Structure 1
Amino acid sequence: MKKQTVLILAKTEHARTPYDEWLQDSGVIPVVITSPNFFEGYSCHITHCYSLSNYDQDDDGLFELVEKIYQITPFDYVFCRAEVDVIRAADIRSRYGISGQSSYSAFCYRDKYLMKERLSGEDVQLSAYRKVDSPEDIREFCGDNGFPYVIKPRLASGSSGVAIIKSLEELDSYLKYSENQVSGMLVENYVDGEMFHVDGLIVDGELRFIQPFKYVNDCLSYRDNMYIGNIPLGKNERLYSLLADTTKKIICCMPETKNFAFHCELWVTKQQDIIFCEIASRTGGGMISFLIEEMSGLNIDRAWLLAECQVNTVVYPEYHEDFQRFGCVCIPPANGKLLSLPSVYPSGVRRTHLTGKSGETYGGGEKSGLYLIGHVVEADDPASVQTIFSACYENIHNRYHWESVGND
């Protein structure tokens, strides 16, 4: 029987996504394209491994490399798990006639304006919004809807480039000092509510896993160098079914895709209205994948990869009340030089992922999905989980670990 091959766009290190181990005994051979930072980690384990400098931005270089690879090692599937790769992977499938998420589907799950257009008129609540091509578009939106409102890039991730505008003075300052071009942005009404997210997996067109979570702090907390946490909701909580059902409706309104993980963000107002924020056809960022694995036993990235390669060997878990004993926290760096890392973690820490190292100088948080250190924790209940989050934050942000770097 002829072995099959999957092209993988790999934006994470091998230790986090060991694709060779996940595909072992599956009959599918991985071919990996990654950045120079992660190349050595993959190349030690995977024969067909390629490095692309300027991985995030060089689309032309990526497609040229893919063509060279295809001439040598034709691939049967294409897989990626990062936001930056969703559209690129879909375009590669289109070029070579490979099944999987289409370019149109990828754009709808990536472009915040297109996804709202898909949902407009459906049984899903949206805040008022408008695409932005000029400063006049923002001013007209303000005239129609008033303050406050949010300006955000249509294609960015991790809450990067998001601005909350509360007055004409703030708008004038944004337009004057922002380095971003306003073209390609989205403006929408600010929603006064708590943010939740729902993560899950679709396999062969069927929902195999879904779980709502509450954010502890919000997606802009990194700007104050504060942590962001994630705690699963219990199935007996009213919001669990409301959030899960809303997410199912949203997916039904989006372009059909047979195999994909999803990460959907929703606001819940004081009146208990659920308002759509955005949805992505990928696994959640930060420590969310690790959290799902620790609490349920499901490695959602591995299960998605195997589904994409038509390998049906995964057992999908049912909800269990013990899920509520878990949570994860992502802690950004402080402003300064990291002198040392903690040698001991607070009680309850089950898993830790480090992205930084001692001796490096940091400028604080960069975006919500990036962190210096992340933990999955376990405790008796959600309140105790949140207490451990604070202990983890203090453990690394203790002043003894940092040296201020002044401007001489």
Structure 2
Amino acid sequence: MARRRVLLLSHIDYDAYHHADGSPFFAPDEYDVTFVADRRHVARLRTGPLPPEIGETIATRLKDDTAVSTLLEALARTAECDYVVALQERLLLPAARFREALGLPGPGVAQTLLLRDKIAMKRHFAAHGVRVPDHIEIREPRDASAHLARHGRIVIKPVDGSGSFDINVISDRQQLAALHRRGLRGPHRYEAEEFVDGRQFHIDSIVRAGTPLATSVSQYLDSHESFPLGGQIRSHTLDPGPERRRLTEFNAKVLSCLPRFDGVTHLEAFLDPDGEPVFCEIAGRPGGAGIVTTFQHAHGASLLLAGVLPQIGRPVPDPAPPGTVQRTAPGAAPRTQEVPSTGWSLIYPPALGRFQSYDSLPSAPWLLQLTTPLTPGDLVTASRRSTDVLATIAVSGVDSREVVAHLDGAQAEITATIVQDPIAGGAERFEPLTFASAGRDAYEVDPD
């Protein structure tokens, strides 16, 4: 049988597309993969012989929308392809358009817009009885004046944003006027929505036909609208109780509005002061930061694999029952326990300058992931996206209290040195700065 040809648009190293036993998601006797990625990911793949399932590699700038569009237009004219796979937020719509242009199976533009376009998704879910923030589309900040007067506090953000890029919380007319004078950072469409007073959560699921098969409910502990020097964004899974049950039910209600969707979802939601859920936004891809790692630890299932399979015409498999642990003794029955508690943190640089080194790193059995994206000599500038980090960590624990203690303990054990060179040049130099906080960002996906 001829091998199926897969165009894989990848924002991560190819190593991530492997099962726990080391075998590839794309079996060599079944698939011929064209790996399209940034130059560094292609370079890492080419450090040795290519895996037998990789037929070709193409290096491009996947963060450059124009470069991606130009490449896909060229491939649509020349490439022979059976499937296209993408798991990163910015690549979902280009992949959907490519499928439709070539008549390929997989998520199309209409379905993808409901998981990508913040205006389209809110209209869709509101029409199905889901509570969403009052919102309007705007062309420039002053278009939100009436919305600010109505609600007193609003959020202005890109309709197709990711990585918490250019999120602006506006509390008065002076702030709105200042934003209007500065201008919005992106060239894309924007929306203004009421600010929801409450705690924010993310709910990550493996989904078949709009029904969640496995779900993790987590609470953000820090704001992820800005990324101050020395700051961090933390999250932990909820302990059993009414709040976790309420958000799990809300997640199921939201997903029921997508009856034809298979794959993975990352839902952002609030609990208002009365404890009622409010929709924020939803994405049809794996959550970022440490979510892939923590979900795998808790459920024994890969969000990456569950996101890939529907895009290559394969069904989403049933995960193991929550908390099920297989005994190693032959014939022994599985035992069931509560799903492990987990959490993650994105840690931001303490200063601007030249990165020198990660000086010390923690080591503990509960440390699930420690990743560092910086290399010696890298220029550290102000973080503009949630993924512009010094380090990412993921941990486990017996409950949320222990998870938070582990997050804070790991952060305190990591030290890094940044030399505060004047970025614009010049002779002045500063003493090295050490920071009690770092490891290689394995997935580089957005936390929201």
- Common fold: TM-score over 0.5: yes
Written as runs of structure 1 = structure 2, the 5 A alignment for 1:208-219 is: 208-219=213-224
Q: What corresponds to 1:7 in structure 2?
A: 7
SS in 1 for 2:289: coil
Map residues 114-263 of structure 1 onto 2, 5 A cutoff: 114-143=120-149, 145-180=150-185, 184-203=189-208, 206-220=211-225, 222-234=227-239, 236-254=240-258, 256-263=259-266
Determine if the alignment matches structure 1 residue 341 to structure 2 residue 350: no
RMSD of equivalent CA atoms: 2.5
Distance 1:140 1:325 in 2: 43
Other structure's SS at 1:159 match: coil
2:61 is the alignment partner of 1:56: no
Distance 1:17 1:334 in 2: 33
TM-fit CA distance, 1:15: 3.3
CA deviations 1:54-75 (Å, max 9, x no partner) are: 65322432223422552xxx22
* Partner secondary structure for residue 115 of structure 2: helix
Cα separation, partners in 2 of 1:259 and 1:239, compared to 1, 3 Å: same
| Bigger shift: residues 55-64 or 97-106 | 55-64
The residue number in structure 2 matching 1:329 is: 345
Cα distance change of structure 1 residues 228 and 134 upon mapping to structure 2, 3 Å threshold: closer
User: 1:48-95 deviations in whole A, cap 9, x for unaligned?
Assistant: 21122465322432223422552xxx2222211000101011001101
Alignment partners' CA distance in 2, 1:182 and 1:166: 24
Structure 1 counterpart of 2:35: 32
Matches within 5 A, 1:60-99: 60-67=69-76, 70=79, 74-99=80-105
TM superposition shift of 1:110: 0.8
**Partner deviation per Cα, 1:317-360 (whole Å, 9 max, x = no partner):** 22225534322222222323332214331533122222112332
CA distance in 1, matches of 2:321, 2:389: 30
The amino acid across from 2:228 in the alignment is R
1:286, 1:371 within 8 Å by CA — same for their partners in 2?
Answer: no
- SS of equivalent to 1:120: helix
- Is 2:21 the partner of 1:21? no
1:134, distance to aligned residue in structure 2 (A): 3.9
Contact residue 142 and residue 180 of structure 2 kept, 8 A = no
**8 Å contact from structure 1 (residues 149, 189) kept in 2:** yes
Shift of 1:286: 1.4
Distance 1:388 1:245 in 2: 29
Task: Assess if the C-alpha contact under 8 Å between 2:208 and 2:316 holds in 1.
Answer: no
Q: What does the per-residue CA deviation read over 1:119-159, in whole Å, with 9 as the maximum and x for residues that have no partner? A: 2243221221111124442112223x142111111011111
In structure 1, list runs of 5 or more residues that go unmatched: none
Q: What residue in structure 1 maps to residue 115 of structure 2?
A: 109
Normalized per residue, which structure has more helix? 1
In structure 2, relative to structure 1, the CA distance for the partners of 1:76 and 1:207 (3 Å cut) is farther
Rounded to whole Å, the distance in 2 between the matches of 1:56 and 1:260 is 26
Deviations 1:233-285 (A, max 9, x none): 23x3112222122122222324x544221100001122101111100111101
Query: Which residue, out of 387, 390, 401, partners 2:405?
Result: 387
Instruction: Name 1:47's counterpart in structure 2.
Output: 55
| 1: CA distance, partners of 2:157 / 2:274 | 25
Give the Cα separation in 1 of the matches to 2:17 and 2:383. Answer: 24
For structure 1, which segment, 3-12 or 216-225, has the greater mean C-alpha deviation from structure 2 after superposition?
Answer: 216-225
| Counterpart Cα distance in 1 of 2:154 and 2:63 | 33
Q: Which range moves more in the overlay, 276-285 or 47-56?
A: 47-56
Counterpart of 2:5, as a letter, is T
Q: Secondary structure at the match of 1:176?
A: helix
- Write the letter of the residue equivalent to 2:227: Y
Structure 1 residue 364 displacement after superposition: 4.0
Residue of structure 2 in register with 1:266 after alignment: 269
| Structure 1 stretches of 4+ moved >6 Å | none
Equivalence for 2:420: 404
SS of equivalent residue, structure 2 residue 228 = helix
What amino acid sits opposite 1:14 in the alignment? Y
Query: Aligned partners of 2:103, 2:145: CA distance in 1, in Å?
Result: 44
| Structure 1 SS opposite 2:357 | coil
- The one-letter amino acid of 1:276's match is F
Secondary structure, in 3 states, of the residue corresponding to 1:126? coil
Equivalent position amino acid for 2:369 in 1: R
TM (norm. structure 2) is 0.82
| 8 Å CA contact retained: 1:379, 1:385 | yes
Cα distance, 1:312 vs structure 2: 5.1
